[in-house]
Amino acid sequence: MTYRMHSRQCPQCLAWLDAATAVEDGTPKPDPGDLTVCFRCGCLLRFGDEMNLRILRSGDLAMLHPEERSMLLALRARILGGAR
């Protein structure tokens, strides 16, 4: 299921993002702190307190649970692989 949200720009490539889709069971509506991946450039992002998008730092990526990190990187690889 896809959730339509107010448009936000990817801080990396400036693409406008206006939807979120859950990769696991649950609601696709993002909350502050949730992770996402830009559909255009594959940038790893986190929703901030005001639901603005922030680039996920390498230290933050390292702190993720291994399964969560693996899933996020696999999704990024699929996005980047499809863009070629």
Which domains does the chain possess?
2-82 (2.20.28.160)
| Collapsed DSSP state (helix, strand, coil) of residue 75 | helix
Whole-angstrom distance, CA of residue 66 vs CA of residue 50: 27
pLDDT tens digits, one per residue of 42-83: 999 999 999 999 999 989 999 999 999 999 999 999 999 975
Of 2, 1, 4, 5, nearest to 52 by C-alpha is: 5
Looking at residue 76, its amino acid is: R
**DSSP labels, 58-82:** HHHHHHS-HHHHHHHHHHHHHHHHH
**Mean pLDDT score, 23-29:** 78
Of 10-14, 25-29, 45-49, 77-81, which gets the smallest average pLDDT?
25-29
pTM: 0.87
Average pLDDT for the chain: 90
